[in-house]
Amino acid sequence: MQDTNVEVLANEATQDVTQAQEAHARVQSESTGSKDIRDSRTSRGNRNPRRRRNSRNKARREEKKDEIREEVIHIGRVAKTVKGGRNYRFTALVIAGDGEGRVGKGLGKAAEVPDAIRKGIDAARKNMIEVPISGTTIPHEVLGIFGGGKVLLKPAPEGTGVIAGGPIRAICDMAGIKDVRTKSLGSNNPNNMVNAAFEGLKQLSSLEDVARRRGKTIKEIIG
């Protein structure tokens, strides 16, 4: 009698183990199936042409962003006297450009130099202008004035190089101007010089722009 009870208990235990294994297998199959459904939905979503187009545009923007170079022109320190002593902050003047006619300037201010440079880079990337270039030089002579700064920019024949000093050389390099003569006629303050140079670059006009404004062809302008 006792042996019969043991056999019954053993059979019941075996059945319980079998049922548990089947339930576990069923749960795994259901989870795998739901995962396959999600994967198939995701793959179908990736085939959406609009999403593919957006991803390509984003990749192009990232690639174009990586082509922009930056250069720190000047780092200044500003001290503010307060009751407990002096508080020091830093300013960073940064020039950014792609070397193909686009250049920008930015001024960053922060309590630490790296933060100031980062802010200056962001500002320079946001404030970029198009500079018309004729071959390797600028189309014509311009005089940029900003505050006490005056910067003269004159075209030069190929092979002359960039005859400029300090901040103006960095601006020409970032803009892609390879031959130019420049002269600072006013303040030597880096901020005034950079702003004056940008005012001069904004005055530049290509031959196509002049012909369009006058309503003539390029041949008629040249004569």
Express each pLDDT in 142-159 by its tens digit: 999 998 999 999 999 999
Distances in Å between the Cα of 212 and the Cα atoms of 119, 125, 200, 204, 220 are 38, 29, 21, 14, 11
User: In the structure, what pLDDT confidence band is assigned to residue 7 with cuts at 50, 70 and 90?
Assistant: low
Q: What pTM was computed for the model?
A: 0.67
Pair 120, 103: CB distance under 8 Å = no
Which are the contacts of 43, defined by CB distance < 8 A and separation ≥ 6?
none
Alpha-carbon distance 21 to 81, whole Å?
A: 77
Q: Is the dihedral of CA 198, 204, 208, 213 positive or negative?
A: positive
Alpha-carbon distance 190 to 111, whole Å?
A: 20
Express each pLDDT in 78-125 by its tens digit: 898 988 889 999 999 999 999 889 999 999 999 999 999 999 999 999
Alpha-carbon distance 94 to 117, whole Å?
A: 7
> Comparing C-alpha atoms, which of 47, 111, 105 is closest to residue 79?
111
Q: 69-82 and 162-163 as β-strands: parallel, antiparallel, unpaired?
A: unpaired
Mean of the pLDDT values across residues 185-200? 93
